[in-house]
Structure 1
Amino acid sequence: MRLLLRRPEAALFALAFGAYAYFFQAGGWNENVRLDLTRAIVEEHTIVIDYYAGNTGDFCVFNRHFYCDKAPGTSVLGVPVYAAWRAVARDMRPRGRMVHLGAYLVTLCVVGLPSALAVAALFRLAMRWGAPAAAAAVLAMAWAFGTLALPYATLLYGHQLAAALLVFAVALLARAPDAPSSDAARWTQARMFLAGLALGSAFATEYPVALPLAVIGLYALAVVRPWSRLVWLALGAAPPLLALAVYHTAAFGSPLTFPYVSSPDVAREGGLFLGLTLPDPRVTYKILFSFDRGLLRHVPWLALALAGGARMAARRAGRAEGLLCLSVMALALSFNSSLSTTPGDWKAGAGIGTRHLVASLPFYILAIGGLIAPPPAWWRRRPLRWAAIAVFAALVVGSTAKMVAATAVRPEPSGIDDPFVDYIWPHWERGEVALNPIVMHNGPMADDPQAWNLGQKWFGLTGRTSLVPLAGFALLATTWLVWTLKQRAEVLSQGGHSHVTTMGVRGPP
């Protein structure tokens, strides 16, 4: 335990998990239909959601029955959590309160917990690819709190879970800092099986990650030796993919029939395939720069990923990693730009950003790490280094403030031209938080907010004051993180055990 407390990964995990656990966002069509499937399996022992579908419009209809129109992974992973909660709280009244607390636990365990673990894994991965420990910690925190990862780690969606699974898979596949690429010691059968399990589960959680999965498969082909170990990667991917095929067959009659085929959403009826068209440059511009969804408008520092990925790819030692990051970023953006059969399809419903990019965000972060791994010549000049750090820190603090405010107020404002200017900041200034009134049960709708945070729930605090316990916790966890980083630096400065990465710079032990 003492050794664990000295590790930056433990502090990063605690910081992220505490923040993600602090919020319950209540309902919405996407969240509700995922919980509907979980409840149908637990309560009715079926994958048909006829009894529950009244609380959502995100369903599909096949053979006169209602089904969840999402990949089932998130819902299925929530089954043991909800079943355990239902066994404990079976007699809780009102029933809607029991459902909401169950939804909170499902979201926390299925989305929040893997996301927090992925923050620690991203820290390790950034170091493995050459970033200094302090820089890797900053990058991990920037992803955790300064991007759409924060709000989506508190929502019962599949995007952030898929992002976490992709991070786990790449962390398992990435070349070791202490072994040449020809050394098979790193890619054990167990490690390869777990990487495949993560990749297969990611697809069962969010169908569009098929594109990043293909790129990660090529990356594995490029770095894993001997190639015979890739058999274990395929074996690991098989169980979730077979389970998905069984689900498709049971629900839609064929393992290759996706729920979108039976969706009433008109956007899925046009295009080349299930509503997809060729990428539209005009939509790409909106995804990146529009007032209501612009990724770079809300998180401008992510633009550094292009330069960082290019720098990685230009170096032979990091070429595979650079191309991996750039390809995942490009494919996710192309997919989102292909959702153009209806004017607002690319927006993917209510929100503050384009959620279809959420699974690709870790690769932006890793690419940014390429700007300082290894450190460029100008980095050795203290004035330039501190100026760059100050500018980057200011940008990350600005985006973190936006993400925290959106998560605290309501991360899915609907029908708003500029969600921050027209909705989030006005409510924030008035001290209004946790505003979502949409229920997740299948009972009567509500007029008062159904969302809450732990400051309200545990301490009876109101408004922005309800975030004070979170701020105190974040301060303590960040202090712990800084201490662990100092401890690590002292060990290395005293000749402690360290390693050299395949990119030629210091990495983690």
Structure 2
Amino acid sequence: MSFDRRTPLAVFLLLLFSYAYINQGWGWNQNSRLDVLHALFVKHTITIDAYEENTGDKEKLNGHFYSEKAPGMILVAAPAFLLAYGTLHLSGINIDGATGWKISDRVTTAGSVGLLAALGGMCLFLLLRRRMDPRLALIATLAVFLGSLPFPYATMMFSHGAIMGLFAIALWVFDLRDRHPKKGAQYDYLLGFLCGLAVSCEYPAAIGAGMFFLLTLLRGWKSAARFVAASILPLLTIPLYNWAVSGSFLSLGYGRVDFAGMQDGFFGVTLPKSEAVRGLLFSHFRGLFFWSPFLLLSAVGYPVLYRRSQRLFWMTLLVPVAYVCFATSYAYWDGGFAFGPRHLSAAVPFLAIAAAFGLEKLSLTGTALAAASILMTTFATFVNAMPPNEFHRPLFEFYPRDFSEGKMAWNLGRSLGLSGAWGMAVWAAISAVAVTGIFYQLRERRKSAAAAKHVRSWSRAWAHLHAMVIRWSRTISRIRFSPSSWIPDFRRLDPVRTILWIAIIGAISLRFVHLPLMEFKGDEFDVLIRAWRNAHGVEFATTSIPSSVGLVNPPFFVWLLSIPAFFTSDPVLVTAFVAAVNAAGLLLLYAFLKRAFSANTALWTTALLSTAPWAIIYSRKLWPQDVMIFFLVLLYFALFLMMKRYRPWHVYLLFFTLAAVTQLHLIAWILPLIFFLFFDIFRVPIRKRDLLGGLSLFALLYLPYLFFHQSSSFLNLLDFLRDSHESLNIRDILEHLEWSVAATSGLKFAAHIGDDAYALFLRQYFGMIPVLFFITYAFGVAIAFAALAREGLRNIRLLLRPLTIEPGIRILLLLIAVYAVIIGIYALIGAPPYTQYHIIFYPLMPLVLVFALERAVRSRFFPSALAHSLLLLIVLSNLAFSAGFIHFLGRNPEKIGAGYGKPYALEWSLWEQKIHLELSQ
């Protein structure tokens, strides 16, 4: 068998195996159709009087019960049901008995809905591989047919799985019609039959079928006539069934049901509702993009699709829009006991094509979203694809509970004596082997071309090495060592740069002045004890202290403090270690910005940040945020080095620091996703071997934390996920924006030491003069952001060509993206505007201000002397305010209150006793 046939067949078999592996069991919807099949072939009637008690999806007419469902699914499922019926009859098993019913259900579902869905997945793959890399086509196909609505609905006798399969096949035929016009008549007939069959299975499929008809009509009336002629045969089942039930060809079953909502509008369809839009697209309850984040790539893919095929573009855009309008207008938009937005299921194949083209643009991010979609959908399908609608966050409230209790849908593993979870593991292993085999097939096809591209002769390699040795030898011969070169020429020193370096050194020194008067409360005590126990082998740390949202922090900060705790348990000395790490982070910031931007940008930014009062306060206590700047800068530095000159150790450094930062601050858990997107957009090179090693290092650092959650049955994590968070209003969002600027200045300082202490401090030191410069700094940052946004809009074409952007500007864009995303998350989860929540933005605010000012100076929009004078005054004001506060703290420690609490020195003996008591146990 040729490669062109072998790979699609493998995709089809993998999907069919997956759909047949699971069966969801009984439910009103599937029972209604199974009842008709049993009545037809066992009782030889279309009335379901003998089975009506197992379903509510029925109508009563003239003393008899009938299924209210569209009749097309009965024809589709009849062959598979007959196979099950004949096999059970030969085996002596009563098909109406409990065992016979279950077997007939599983065989019929797999042989009808599952078969059509698997065929649809294969056809989607065939369509996509003609237009993109086959490997990306495979990822997109699996992301949709194993990571979205087709998977759960192909495991039960719902019509949705069949509709998605039929529309995927129809899209493939529609594409073939465009590429092979000579066979247009055949494809018109096939397309009409598929659309007619879809409508006969589910009446709302008329929306998608109607769009196919309109685009076929644009080809000419002959094509439209063939389309209509082919659709008549399956559509005839609807009036014939209506006549057999009620004696009227036009009397639909949905018009006679007792559901109150169905009496409004046109069979329950009225006007779109805003609640339904949010619920069907984004909510935890039924959100399509929540359960299938891979489909978010459709927003990126539509522009690409428009350039390549406008007919396909309009088809894949208008059908989802129409289905959203329909579903949000429907009285029962939530779909009852269902997985995801089942009334939007028919739109999924259309969105899948656009998402596949988005995957082509963002392959790394798209692959991650595909994996997330498959993981969530698979987990839900194996547990229960029909969660009760009383759970509005089923992923956190329903599925973990049922999984932990062993309540899972039937899967083939149970027939082998395995539990539901082990059955899921067997499926995962088999599927992983199958996917690996398919990828290997795709790789073999490209192997010869790739090998030819990368082959190099030994002679060329030797010539390159010889030239490199000659070049190095000439460089070394030019080096002249002179003692005078090591002595700086003080006459050439820039006075402004000298002042800035003095300010930076002074700010670093302030981190160690009056250190016994540091903050020290319960959290600091707890983390110190954990670090000492970890350092001395008493108890290996798998967690750190609990966060403010209740979730336990990972243990990296405890591991870091174990270094000084191995030598001492004195809180002052351990805090001095934290201050030293913070100071090292400032020097590293200078080195990084000097490489990424310029020496001027690096010096001004480091001076602004190092002298900021809040930055000094958050360098003198035992909190994870106090050391974050070192690892945060190291993370961005590693990324910058990867873009400038790739080395394997850059990758390991990147993943190590990413693991460290995400353990120091829980909000940083969003960083891996942002970095995925960044790598994808800017095509940052990374070798597979180095990527695997980096991921292994990341996983290794998280292994103890995962072990803690696994050993506690994930109770802490589940409690956190179950907590409801109220969203913030605009005023609260603005407050977060204010605090993000204040955290790199001295604004809002009274919130930390108390209003009385702050008023006394201002009376004794400088008055309101520093505050005026803090406000100037804040306004400068706001104006700088506005100026950068204006420049970005003016150079939007450059932003649309990301590979032409310099690495330093890429890093700045990344910092801004992290800022925007995390502020948005704070708004969504209702995080209070604490200073420590904004330390993750530390380098951004001063960098944006300095960067914007430098560009304004270069464009002669702003005088250089004025810009440097303003920045210098802000730096000196910061330093004076910080030095004054440290001096005030030494003279008036008893005045300090609010968030700072009582300084450690005032309660030294009490803390010493507690530490000694705790360590002696």
**2:233 — aligned with what?**
239
- State the AA in 2 paired with 1:293: R
Distance in 2 separating the partners of 1:10 and 1:242 = 33
2:429 is the alignment partner of 1:455: no
Shift of 1:176: 5.7
Q: Deviation per CA, 1:112-145: give whole Å up to 9, x if none.
A: 11111111100111234x2221111111111111
Query: Contact (CA 8 Å) 2:39, 2:48: kept in 1 or not?
Result: yes
Q: What SS does the corresponding residue of 2:316 show, helix, strand or coil?
A: helix
Label 1:142 to 1:462 Cα distance change in 2 as closer, same or farther (>3 A): same
Query: Contact (CA 8 Å) 2:255, 2:267: kept in 1 or not?
Result: yes
2:118 is the alignment partner of 1:116: yes
Label 1:3 to 1:234 Cα distance change in 2 as closer, same or farther (>3 A): same
Label 1:453 to 1:273 Cα distance change in 2 as closer, same or farther (>3 A): same
Query: Contact (CA 8 Å) 1:204, 1:241: kept in 2 or not?
Result: yes
Query: Contact (CA 8 Å) 2:10, 2:438: kept in 1 or not?
Result: yes
**2:200 — aligned with what?**
204
- 1:71-470 alignment to 2 at 5 Å? 71-90=70-89, 91-92=92-93, 95-128=97-130, 130-175=131-176, 184-187=181-184, 189-222=185-218, 224=219, 227-270=221-264, 272-313=265-306, 315=307, 317-340=308-331, 345-371=332-358, 388-414=362-388, 415-428=390-403, 430=404, 432-434=406-408, 451-457=409-415, 459-470=416-427
Label 1:390 to 1:234 Cα distance change in 2 as closer, same or farther (>3 A): same
Q: Deviation per CA, 1:359-418: give whole Å up to 9, x if none.
A: 11011110123336xx7xxx6xxxxxxxx3222222221121111111111111113222
Label 1:256 to 1:489 Cα distance change in 2 as closer, same or farther (>3 A): farther
Query: Contact (CA 8 Å) 2:140, 2:370: kept in 1 or not?
Result: no
Label 1:165 to 1:326 Cα distance change in 2 as closer, same or farther (>3 A): same
Shift of 1:178: 5.3
Distance in 2 separating the partners of 1:148 and 1:113 = 15
Label 1:177 to 1:191 Cα distance change in 2 as closer, same or farther (>3 A): closer
Q: What SS does the corresponding residue of 1:352 show, helix, strand or coil?
A: coil
Label 1:171 to 1:353 Cα distance change in 2 as closer, same or farther (>3 A): same
Query: Contact (CA 8 Å) 2:176, 2:187: kept in 1 or not?
Result: no
Q: What SS does the corresponding residue of 1:51 show, helix, strand or coil?
A: coil
TM superposition score normalised by structure 1 = 0.83
Distance in 2 separating the partners of 1:488 and 1:229 = 38
TM superposition score normalised by structure 2 = 0.47
Query: Contact (CA 8 Å) 1:14, 1:477: kept in 2 or not?
Result: no
Query: Contact (CA 8 Å) 1:286, 1:293: kept in 2 or not?
Result: yes
Distance in 2 separating the partners of 1:245 and 1:177 = 33
Query: Contact (CA 8 Å) 2:272, 2:329: kept in 1 or not?
Result: yes
**2:58 — aligned with what?**
59
Distance in 2 separating the partners of 1:158 and 1:282 = 26
Distance in 2 separating the partners of 1:175 and 1:492 = 28
Shift of 1:211: 0.8
Query: Contact (CA 8 Å) 1:38, 1:76: kept in 2 or not?
Result: no
What is the aligned-residue RMSD (CA, Å)? 2.2
2:22 is the alignment partner of 1:23: yes
Q: What SS does the corresponding residue of 1:346 show, helix, strand or coil?
A: coil
Query: Contact (CA 8 Å) 2:33, 2:73: kept in 1 or not?
Result: yes
**236-245 vs 83-92, which deviates more?**
83-92
2:472 is the alignment partner of 1:473: no
- State the AA in 1 paired with 2:274: P
Larger radius of gyration: 2
Q: What SS does the corresponding residue of 1:471 show, helix, strand or coil?
A: helix
Higher helix share: 2
Instruction: Determine which structure has greater relative contact order: mean sequence separation of CA pairs < 8 Å that are 6+ residues apart, divided by chain length.
Output: 1
Distance in 1 separating the partners of 2:299 and 2:46 = 43
Distance in 2 separating the partners of 1:249 and 1:177 = 39
Distance in 1 separating the partners of 2:152 and 2:213 = 29
Q: Deviation per CA, 1:17-59: give whole Å up to 9, x if none.
A: 1111111211011111111111111112221111111001111
Query: Contact (CA 8 Å) 1:455, 1:468: kept in 2 or not?
Result: no
Q: 5+ residue gaps in structure 2?
A: 453-921
Taking only the aligned residue pairs, the percentage that are identical comes to 29
Shift of 1:227: 4.5
Size of the aligned set, in residue pairs, is 448
Q: Deviation per CA, 1:44-76: give whole Å up to 9, x if none.
A: 222111111100111122223211111111123
Shift of 1:244: 1.9
